[in-house]
Structure 1
Amino acid sequence: MKTNRIWSWLALAFGIIYFVVPLLGTLEFSLRMRRGTYSLDAYWVILSDPRFQQTFGYSIIMAIATIIIGIVLVVPTAYWVRLRLPAWRPVLEFITLLPLVIPAIVVVFGYIRLYNTASILPLTGSAMGTNILLAFGYTMLALPYMYRAVDTGLGSIDIRTLTEAAESLGASRITIMANIILPNVLVAVLSGAFLTFAIVIGEFTMAALLNRPAFGPFLQLIGANRAYEPAALAVIAFAITWICMGLIQVVTRFNKSLAATKR
C-alpha cells in the first residue's frame, strides 16, 4: 500500500510540474510588459482593445447559439433512442464520434464548397448565413461531448417508467420532454453546455476559414504580432476553460446535495 501511495504521489507531482510550471511561466512573462517590475499592463491593453471586446462578445453569442442548437438536437434524440430504439445506440455513438476523427478543416472546406454563392443554398453569401453555418459547425464539433453528457444523464434515470407514468396521466411528448426528462438531466445538459462553451471560445479553424470575427482567430493574430499580450490572452483563455470546468463541478455537487436533501 505504501509503495502504491508513493507512486500515486509521484504521478501527481509529475502532472503538476508538467502542467502548472508552463502556466506559471506564461503568467510570469505576461506580467513583465513594464520593464523592471510586474504589472497588469498586458492585460489592460488586451481588455481595452476593441477587437478583443468584439471577438469575445461574438464568440459568446455563438457559444450560446451552439448550446441551444445542441440541446434541441441531442436531448430528444438521445431520449428517443434510449426509449424506443436501443439497438441504434451503437450507431448513434459512432456518428457522434466522427467529429473527433474528421479534421475541422476538412469539414469547413466541405461547407464552403457546398454552401458557396453558386450553390442552391448560398449561406456563405451573407454574414447571417455564414453565422448560421458556423453555429452548426460548432454544434458538430461539440457533439461528442454534449451527447455523452446527456446520454450519461439519461442512463442515471428510469426514463421508461417516467414516460409511461406521464403518458398514463395524459401528458404529450413535448410536455414529457420539457417538464420531466429535461429537468432530470439538467446537470448533464449543463455539463455539456460548459464544455461546448469552452470549445467555441477557443476554436480557430472554422471561424478563420469562414472569415468570422471570433475569439480564436483574434488569439492567433495577437500571437503573431505581439510579445506580452499573447501570454496574457493565453492565461485568460486558460482561466475561462477552468471556470467552465469548475462550474461543472459546482453544478454536479449542488445536484447531489439537493438529491440527498430530498431523500
Structure 2
Amino acid sequence: MKTGRFWAWLTFAVGAAYFFIPLIATFEFSLRMRRGEYSFDAYRVVFGDIRFQETFGYSVVVACFTILLGVLLVVPTAYWIRLRMPHIRPVVEFITLLPLIIPAIVIVFGYIRMYGSSSPLPFLATRRGTDLLLIIGYATLALPYMYRAVDTGLRTIDVRTLTEAAQILGAGWTTIIARIILPNVLIAVLSGAFLTFAIVIGEFTMASLLNRPAFGPYLQNIGANRAYEPAALAVIAFAITWGCMAVIQLLSRFAPKSANNPSH
C-alpha cells in the first residue's frame, strides 16, 4: 500500500509540475515589463486598453445570449427525450458529439457560404445578423457540454413522476418545463452555462472569420504584436476559466444526490 501511495503521489506531482510550471513562468514573465523589478504594468496596460474592454464586453454579451439559446434548445429537448423517446437517446448523443468532430472552421465556412452577401435572408448579411450567426455557432460548439450537463441533471430526478403530478394539477407543458423541470436541473444548467462561457471567451476561429470584435481575436492580435501583454492576457484567461470551473465545483455540491427521490 505504501508503494502504491508513493507512485500515486509521484504521478500527481509530475502532472502538477507539468501544468503549473509553465503557468508560473508565464505569470513571472508578465511581471517583467518594468526593467529591473517586478510590476503589474502589463496588467494595467491590458485593463486600460479600450480594445480589451470592448472585446471582452462583446464576448460576455455574446456568451450570455449563447447560454440562453443553449438552455432554450437543450432543456426541452433533453426532457422530452428522457420522458417520451428514450430509444433515440443514442442518436441524439451522437449528434451532440458532432461539434467535437467537425472543425469550427468548417462550420463557419458553411455559414459564410450559405449566408453571405447573396443570402436569401438579407438580415444575416448585416452586422446584427452576423452576431446572430456567431451566437448560433457558439451554441453549436457548446452543445456537447450543455446537453450532457442537462442530461446528467435529469438523471437525478424522477422526470415521469414530476410530470404526471404536474399534469394532474392542470399544468401545461410550458409550465412543467419552466417551473418544475428547470428549477430541479438548475445546478446542471449552470454547470453547462459556465462551460459555455469559458468556450465563448477563448474562441478564435468563428469570431475571426466572421469579422466580429470578440475577445479571442484580440488575444491573437496582441500575441502577435506585444511581448509582456500576451503573457498577462494568458494569465487572465486562465483565471477566468479556473473561476468558471471553481463555480461549477461549488454548485455541484448542491446538486440532488438521489436519482429516485421525486422530492428533489
| TM-score (structure 1 length as normaliser) | 0.96
- Tell me what 2:245 maps to: 245
- Tell me what 1:35 maps to: 35
Check the 8 A contact 1:146/1:196 in 2, yes or no.
Answer: yes
- Percent of residue pairs bearing the same amino acid type: 69
Range 172-181 or range 64-73, more displaced: 172-181
CA distance in 2, matches of 1:102, 1:125: 24
- Tell me what 2:146 maps to: 146
CA distance in 2, matches of 1:63, 1:119: 25
The AA in structure 1 aligned to 2:226 is R
Deviation, 1:4, is 1.8
Unaligned runs of 5+ in 2: 258-262
The AA in structure 2 aligned to 1:129 is G
Deviation, 1:252, is 1.6
Unaligned runs of 5+ in 1: none
The AA in structure 2 aligned to 1:156 is T
- Tell me what 2:126 maps to: 126
CA distance in 1, matches of 2:90, 2:249: 28
- Tell me what 2:55 maps to: 55
Change (3 A) 1:256 1:163: closer
- Tell me what 1:216 maps to: 216
Q: 3-state SS of the aligned residue for 1:16?
A: helix
- Tell me what 1:195 maps to: 195
Determine whether 1:23 maps to 2:23.
yes
> What's the CA shift string for 1:114-140, capped at 9, x where partnerless?
001112123552110000000000000
> What's the CA shift string for 1:133-177, capped at 9, x where partnerless?
000000000000000000000011110011011111111111111
The AA in structure 2 aligned to 1:34 is R
Q: 3-state SS of the aligned residue for 1:77?
A: helix
- Tell me what 2:169 maps to: 169
Deviation, 1:32, is 0.2
Deviation, 1:255, is 4.2
- Tell me what 1:14 maps to: 14
CA distance in 1, matches of 2:80, 2:125: 36
Check the 8 A contact 2:187/2:254 in 1, yes or no.
Answer: no
Deviation, 1:245, is 0.2
Determine whether 1:227 maps to 2:227.
yes
Check the 8 A contact 2:59/2:215 in 1, yes or no.
Answer: yes
Deviation, 1:214, is 0.1
The AA in structure 2 aligned to 1:163 is T
Range 61-70 or range 243-252, more displaced: 243-252
- Tell me what 2:86 maps to: 86
| TM-score (structure 2 length as normaliser) | 0.96
CA distance in 2, matches of 1:32, 1:256: 47
The count of aligned residue pairs is: 259
Deviation, 1:40, is 0.2
The AA in structure 1 aligned to 2:211 is N
- Tell me what 2:184 maps to: 184
Deviation, 1:254, is 3.7
Change (3 A) 1:32 1:24: same
The AA in structure 2 aligned to 1:19 is F
CA distance in 2, matches of 1:101, 1:172: 38
CA distance in 2, matches of 1:48, 1:207: 23
Check the 8 A contact 1:115/1:123 in 2, yes or no.
Answer: no
The AA in structure 2 aligned to 1:220 is Q
> What's the CA shift string for 1:182-217, capped at 9, x where partnerless?
011000000000000000000000000000000000
> What's the CA shift string for 1:220-244, capped at 9, x where partnerless?
0000000000000000000000000
CA distance in 1, matches of 2:20, 2:126: 43
Q: 3-state SS of the aligned residue for 1:37?
A: coil
